[in-house]
Structure 1
Amino acid sequence: MTTASPDSISCQVPELAVIVPTYNEAGSVEELARRVAITLEGVDWELIFVDDDSPDGTAERARELSRRDARIRVIQRVGRRGLSSACIEGMLATSAPYLAVMDGDLQHDETLLPRMLAAIKDEDLEIVVGSRYVAGGGVGDWSARRHSMSKVATRIGQRLIRVELQDPMSGFFMVRASVIHACVRRLTGVGFKILLDIFSTAERPLRFRELPFTFRQRHAGSSKLDNAVLWEYLLMLTQKMIGPLIPVRFIAFSVIGGLGVFVHMAVLWPMLQWLGSGAFLLSQSAATLVAMTSNFFLNNLLTYRDMRLRGRQLLWGWLSFVVTCSVGALANVGIANYLFHEGHSGWFLSALAGILVGAVWNYAVTAVYTWKRPQTK
């Protein structure tokens, strides 16, 4: 029996891959697949759902569609979360020369895909952006607050990439695969704004065009946007400014640690005023515990948002945080107490030195023992 060599096996490589990151979109994936199939009739396409282990069964619903249509594929990520990183993973999982990214909630206008494909090919572009902020586009029924936040974020993004892109915050675009392959190792993969990440990472200005579309209402489910989106956006900008050598989680942990200094001092100072300097050890210990608790809840909400602890896990997480940070806390209190009584450095500098010593230990051990894996939401 002879075995066919890989070179002799014929297969149809899709011209366009549509990458759809999902989380709790079980009610939308079938309708999205139906619309994409109608819109891209005559195009060799594939649709790749990249699901972050949705508890509502989004991945299984998408697999049911794949059993009926081989052009539909599913990547179910377990232990990894985040829209940008999901998009990157989906874009690297296809051989298609053109890649489109769109949301799974039907708020992006899929009928724009053929125009995007024609433009990127016929005009020799590298990226085509579905824009809400060029003539003919719109944001639909957005609230005034959301619209204002988007405009501010847009202005910041434009300053970062320094090109005349009207909607750098768009999550709807088409890009040549070669652009992604050239810059993928420098992408942060942080947060929700993968388009801004691509533009700011490219070594030279990209050839682009914006096509207008109007943002639609959700087909099903609820919005994933919350105040943490702004936090992740700021982290991504910070990562871009300082480079890839410092992990973004460490940046977030450090920022929250800095806020913890203010919490610590806000507790320590009034206790010293009330109890006197003779109670410095007690006051420093109490301030350390309060600041530690504050840091735990903020890190759970923001730094480890993709691994957020809830319910009973939240209590156990706090306990593990306190226990595993006990060495750092003892060093914090011991060093601060020694400097205050023996080094004559004053209460502020003594407390600050203790905080800095404990911070390094806290980051190292909590990454291992407190937030071990993503929790089911």
Structure 2
Amino acid sequence: MNVNSFDTLLKVPTGVLQISDLLPTSMDRDNEGIHLSLVIPTYKERDNIQNVIRILSQLLDELIPKDYELIVVDDDSPDRTWEVAQFLTREYPQLRVMRRQKEKGLSSAVIRGWQVARGRVLGVIDGDLQHPPEVLTQLLSGIQQGADLAVASRHVEGGGVSSWSAVRRFLSRGAQVLGLILLPGVLGRVSDPMSGYFMVRRRAIAGAILNPVGYKILLEVIGRGQVNEITEVGYVFCERQEGESKVTWKQYIEYLHHLLRLRLSIGRSGRMNEQTGFPVGRFLRFGLVGLSGVFVDMAMLYLLSDPTTLALPLTRSKIIAGEIAILNNFFWNDAWTFADVSKKQQEWHQRLKRFLKFNLICLAGLILNVLVLNLVFNFIIPNRYIANLIAIAVATIWNFWVNLKLSWRVTDVK
């Protein structure tokens, strides 16, 4: 059956987010590949998608006729954007459509599209016409002149934004400055690292395991790919004419999360991870969560055991304080440290199972903690708070390693 028939959608790839250096084969298409595969990630773009496909097809038919493909990757939009795009495949033979029902997120949608793409050059453009299609001409030219990556930028000559508020401009620039502080070797290479409009040679990112968070996939491409020469072209970011904006505070939080994850994975800790097999980045996140638990633990220990407050026995106070800290740590670890695993097991009984495992492991760690606390307090340093910090450090290593192996594992599969 022809891949562009009305009743056929692309099969959604599974597994790691990795681009092959070999072009995907197809029984119904030539296996020689094409020049450009342009992915259009969509969610609730029913009012825009037909116009987008029409404009892009007209433009690319003039630039590289029959040497491109458009791949719409829709996250199962409630307005059935994917269905409208699928209908259009009868009119536009270069159009292919994927409907994702189990995964969400713009960045992963782009990568899934690239995984089925046949192009030697991979690109992405928004599905709402906020990225002016005519800039594709300049991006293609940049690639043809030898660049590994061609980025459409709002911050070079010819670039800008049409009608952003002062608050949004401030947040955008603030996010860029923060990125330059955390990842100067990545964000310092382009003027607009938050751009979602670019083209990259397949060979530059082939084989790299991508691990994006949120919307800013360009960070992954530069940070994890083998990108040498980069060119930038200016464009004016336009306000959408149809549909609703998807920019929320969540995107800024995800951007910060992405920066931290990328910093840990490609920095010194990332190299240590590769050399030793120990997940240093994940351990650091676990440690930061544990630090929040320290404050909870210390505060509760003071409230319960200090002579000026409740003056309960030290051991009893420690057990209560430790259990409250365990509850705090579980929620943060589930949402951040092991979020990649948690997202695959989001049902309440799966979360309860993780919590019970985490609690049992940490209770064992709490027993270890209490033993170390009493040993240090009674025989080495007669200061309850210093002894408590030492006990927490010992228990942290235990808690991380055993939880890594037992609590946050994908064990429920369909």
Tell me if the contact between 2:213 and 2:257 (Cα under 8 Å) persists in the aligned partners: no
Residue by residue over 1:298-322, the C-alpha shift from the partner in whole angstroms, topping out at 9 and shown as x without a partner, is: 3454452795599x955x5653333
Partner of 1:170: 195
State the alpha-carbon separation in 1 of the partners of residues 55 and 342 from structure 2: 33
Residue by residue over 1:131-181, the C-alpha shift from the partner in whole angstroms, topping out at 9 and shown as x without a partner, is: 010122113333434433332443434722386521122111112223233
The verdict on how the C-alpha distance between 1:221 and 1:365 changes in structure 2, with shifts beyond 3 A counting, is: farther
- Equivalences, count: 361
2:369 counterpart (319, 336, 355): 336
Q: Name stretches of at least 5 consecutive residues in structure 1 with no aligned partner.
A: 1-5
Partner of 1:197: 220
Partner of 2:310: 275
State the alpha-carbon separation in 1 of the partners of residues 262 and 223 from structure 2: 11
State the alpha-carbon separation in 2 of the partners of residues 12 and 318 from structure 1: 47
Partner of 1:3: none
The verdict on how the C-alpha distance between 1:232 and 1:161 changes in structure 2, with shifts beyond 3 A counting, is: closer
Secondary structure of residue in 2 paired with 1:41 = helix
State the alpha-carbon separation in 2 of the partners of residues 114 and 189 from structure 1: 27
Partner of 2:318: 284
Q: Name stretches of at least 5 consecutive residues in structure 2 with no aligned partner.
A: 1-25, 382-386
Residue by residue over 1:56-110, the C-alpha shift from the partner in whole angstroms, topping out at 9 and shown as x without a partner, is: 5444443333354332223344544444343333223222222221223332222
1:130 counterpart (152, 155, 163): 152
State the alpha-carbon separation in 2 of the partners of residues 248 and 342 from structure 1: 31
Tell me if the contact between 1:102 and 1:108 (Cα under 8 Å) persists in the aligned partners: yes
1:327 counterpart (336, 360, 367): 360
- The code of the aligned residue for 1:209 comes to T
State the alpha-carbon separation in 2 of the partners of residues 164 and 322 from structure 1: 42
Matching of residue 206 in structure 1 with residue 228 in structure 2: yes
2:137 counterpart (102, 106, 114): 114
- The code of the aligned residue for 2:112 comes to E
Identity of aligned residues (%): 29
Alpha-carbon offset, residue 237 of structure 1: 2.4
State the alpha-carbon separation in 2 of the partners of residues 64 and 248 from structure 1: 45
Q: Which stretches of structure 1, 4 residues or longer, exceed 6 Å deviation after superposition?
A: none
Superposed, which structure 2 residues align to 1:1-377 within 5 Å?
13-42=33-62, 43=64, 44=66, 45-54=68-77, 57-77=80-100, 79-121=102-144, 123-155=145-177, 156-157=179-180, 159-161=184-186, 164-181=189-206, 184-185=207-208, 187-203=210-226, 206-218=228-240, 219-225=242-248, 226=250, 227-241=253-267, 242-243=269-270, 245=274, 246=279, 252-273=285-306, 274-276=309-311, 278-281=313-316, 283-303=317-337, 304=339, 313=347, 316=349, 319-344=352-377, 346-368=387-409
The verdict on how the C-alpha distance between 1:11 and 1:369 changes in structure 2, with shifts beyond 3 A counting, is: closer
Alpha-carbon offset, residue 247 of structure 1: 7.9
Question: What's the Cα RMSD here?
Answer: 3.7
Tell me if the contact between 1:29 and 1:104 (Cα under 8 Å) persists in the aligned partners: yes
- The code of the aligned residue for 2:313 comes to G
Tell me if the contact between 1:53 and 1:76 (Cα under 8 Å) persists in the aligned partners: yes
Alpha-carbon offset, residue 331 of structure 1: 0.8
Alpha-carbon offset, residue 18 of structure 1: 0.7
TM-score by length of 1: 0.79
